[in-house]
Amino acid sequence: MEIMTRTIWVVLLLFTGITAGLIVLEVFLARAERWWPGLMPPLFTFLWALFMCLNVASVGDVVSMLGALLITFLLLNVPTWVLLAIYFVCREKRRKKKMLDKMNLHDLN
């Protein structure tokens, strides 16, 4: 029983560390000069969700299988939506700063 508890804690800490690292990576890439590096982590999580949907076994009739596919796809795309939200927030801040710098430069002339 004690070994199972330790294993659960290790897996939980590992999952938390990977999630935090992915969020830090997304913020770093979204603040980059070019726009496309920040879209790579959401793209990878989206492709991962598509791949995992291929692993959904057929369960009974077509309606229940489509329901299982839809639920799997929606739940596994939660990281994609979170990473895209971080990307758009960071890019919007960058766009506003760029516009403010242009306005200040224009005021100096």
pLDDT digits (tens, 9 = 90+) for 34-76: 999 999 999 999 999 999 888 877 667 888 888 888 999 999 9
Distance CA 46, CA 60 (A): 27
Distance CA 32, CA 87 (A): 11
Tokens of 104: 């200040």
60: left (phi over 0), alpha (psi -120 to 50) or beta: left
104 phi and psi, to 5 degrees? -65, -40
Q: Report the predicted TM-score, pTM, of the whole model to 2 decimal places.
A: 0.80
pLDDT value at position 80? 95
Whether the pLDDT of residue 10 is over 70: the answer is yes
- Is residue 48 classed as helix, strand or coil in its secondary structure? helix
Structural domain of 6: 2-108
How many domains are contained in the chain? 1
